[in-house]
């Protein structure tokens, strides 16, 4: 305790610790924050007398949760695909849209032609919307550059976001997202000549926290992803993977073999893959925004994740094609409504389990020694965060102890 300590009182806290009590809930609690970290949390009746002289801030009965964590985004990207959305609703097929210059290729074109400044300004507008919902950590992927210069630029923009705003940014290198037009039909050459050398360059510049890929019929095979993951391993970088989104290629199993932090999407995952994830401690990141936008009908194997004890996270997957969903609170609601997650599972999905999906050990739960990243809500019960649609009850967001 120092003069930098603050005591919050008159609050209930959903600590999200492992606990027999739902949400790790403590009613009528106090939280002591010292030098940006949580010093003490517990029932106010147990507050050590040493803290008794500190000035108290009343939260008037509000609920406190860990700051929210969006563990899967493509929030740095050029342009939008609203016209493509409109074309599809007017009857065009995905292929016709692609032939007319739509799809991932159009986002690559727009991202390549954007400057670092405009990319940053565009992304910050989206980040600010998340911040207003109490988000304190975010993952940001590259993968719309698909050439060395633009991939590096995307990652520099991601780092810049962490400097311009009070938010923790974790970057993922997603060079193996799609094959760019100039390498059409030469996927292996793209992996060898562009993706892997760019990963090495980005890592040398300190721009990479994890390595991601898209393992899918329309993207890369498990063998191709494995070549990228081998380099990640050599560089000492953790991996994660877009897997089993549209079909089952064994991507999650491959990811688990590399001790992946997470495998993401997973609609077409089988129980064998679930077991492999459980054994490896790989988090299942569920992305209801893409499921909804693509009007997918096969849900991820939630019951099997529960049965085998695979931790589940939820994220927006913010991207201009399959998930133009810029709200983590709505994502929480959709996780419950579309996939029947309980509100507690959904809240764990954007706090403790999202932290784990990013390899972050100092956030996602409220306990002594963790960073004081907190969200203070005008709600009585945590289920309210999952229940309302299009309503933001955030009162105050605290990042590293500062409001």
Residues in touch with ligand DI6 (CB under 6 A): 104, 107, 177, 214, 242, 245, 290, 319-322
Closer residue to ligand DI6 (CB): 104 or 114: 104
Phi, psi of 377, deg, nearest 5: -115, 145
Nearer to Fe ion, 317 or 344 (CB): 317
Q: How many CA atoms lie within 13 A of 269 on its CB side?
A: 34
Min dist. Cβ of residue 284 to Fe ion (A): 14
Instruction: Find all residues with CB under 8 Å of 72, minimum gap 6, and list them.
Output: 139, 141, 262, 264, 285, 287, 313, 315, 316, 317, 357
CB of 102 to ligand DI6, least distance (A): 9
Name the binder of 322 from Fe ion, ligand DI6, none, CB < 5-8 A by kind. ligand DI6
The answer to whether 174 touches 212, Cβ cutoff 8 Å, is yes
Question: In this complex, which beta carbon is closest to ligand DI6, that of residue 46 or of residue 86?
Answer: 86
Residue nearest to Fe ion (CB): 317
Nearer to Fe ion, 39 or 122 (CB): 122
What are the φ/ψ torsions at residue 139 (nearest 5 degrees)?
-100, 140
321 binds, among Fe ion, ligand DI6, none (CB under 5 to 8 A by kind): ligand DI6
CB neighbour list of residue 102: distance below 8 Å, 6 or more residues apart? 81, 83, 84, 87
Sites for Fe ion among residues 47-76 (CB under 5 A) = none
∠44-47-53 over CA atoms, to 5°?
110
Distance, CA of 325 to CA of 224 (rounded, Å): 30
- Closest approach of Cβ 323 to ligand DI6, in Å? 6
Query: Would you say 136 or 322 has its CB closer to ligand DI6?
Result: 322
- Closest distance of CB 317 from Fe ion, Å: 5
Site for Fe ion in 363-382 (CB under 5 A): none
240 binds, among ligand DI6, Fe ion, none (CB under 5 to 8 A by kind): none
Are residues 43 and 29 in contact, defined by beta-carbon separation less than 8 angstroms? yes
Q: How far is the CB of 322 from ligand DI6 (least distance, A)?
A: 3
Residue nearest to ligand DI6 (CB): 321
Residues 293-322 that bind Fe ion (CB under 5 A): 317
End-to-end CA distance of the chain: 19
What is the 3-state composition of the chain as percent helix, strand, coil, each rounded to the nearest 5? 40, 25, 35
| Least distance (Å) between residue 267 CB and ligand DI6 | 11
Q: Helical H runs in 340-394?
A: 343-349, 352-357, 383-387
Q: Which does 78 bind (CB under 5 to 8 A by kind): ligand DI6, Fe ion, none?
A: none
Please say which residue, 11 or 261, places its beta carbon nearer to ligand DI6.
261
Nearer to Fe ion, 209 or 344 (CB): 209
Structure tokens at 187: 């996927």
Q: Name the site residues for Fe ion (rule: CB under 5 A).
A: 317
């Amino acid at each position: 305790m120092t003069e930098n300590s603050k005591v919050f009182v008159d609050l209930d806290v959903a600590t999200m610790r492992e606990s027999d009590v739902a949400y790790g809930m403590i009613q009528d609690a106090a939280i002591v924050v010292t030098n940006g970290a949580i010093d003490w949390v517990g029932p106010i009746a147990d507050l050590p007398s040493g803290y008794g002289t500190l000035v108290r801030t009343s939260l008037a009965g509000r609920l406190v949760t860990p700051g929210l964590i969006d563990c899967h985004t493509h929030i740095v990207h050029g342009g939008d695909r609203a016209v493509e959305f409109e074309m599809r609703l007017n009857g065009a097929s995905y292929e016709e849209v692609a032939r007319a210059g739509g799809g991932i290729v159009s986002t690559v074109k727009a991202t390549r032609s954007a400057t670092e400044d405009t990319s940053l300004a565009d992304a910050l507008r989206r980040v600010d919307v998340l911040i207003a919902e109490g988000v304190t950590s975010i993952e940001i992927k590259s993968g719309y550059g698909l050439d060395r210069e633009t991939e590096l630029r995307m990652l520099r923009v991601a780092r810049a976001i962490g400097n311009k705003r009070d938010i923790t940014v974790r970057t993922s290198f997603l060079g193996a997202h799609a094959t760019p037009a100039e390498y059409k039909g030469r996927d292996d050459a793209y992996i060898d000549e562009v993706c892997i050398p760019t990963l090495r360059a980005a890592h040398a510049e300190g721009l990479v926290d994890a390595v991601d890929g898209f393992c899918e019929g329309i993207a890369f095979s498990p063998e191709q992803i494995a070549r990228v993951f081998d380099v990640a391993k050599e560089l000492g970088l953790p991996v994660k993977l877009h897997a089993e989104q549209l079909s089952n290629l064994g991507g999650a199993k491959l990811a688990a073999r590399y001790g992946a932090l997470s495998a993401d999407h997973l609609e077409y995952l089988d129980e064998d893959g679930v077991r492999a994830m459980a054994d490896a401690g790989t988090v299942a990141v569920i992305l209801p925004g893409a499921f909804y936008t693509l009007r997918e009908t096969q849900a991820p194997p939630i019951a099997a994740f529960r049965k085998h004890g695979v931790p589940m996270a939820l994220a927006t997957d913010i991207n201009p094609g399959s998930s133009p969903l810029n709200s983590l609170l709505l994502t929480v609601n959709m996780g419950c409504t579309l996939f029947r997650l309980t509100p507690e599972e959904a809240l764990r999905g954007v706090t403790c389990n999202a932290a784990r999906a990013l390899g972050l050990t100092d956030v996602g739960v409220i306990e002594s020694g963790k960073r004081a990243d907190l969200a203070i809500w005008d709600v009585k019960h945590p289920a309210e965060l999952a229940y309302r649609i299009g309503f933001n009850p955030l009162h105050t967001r605290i990042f590293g102890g500062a409001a």
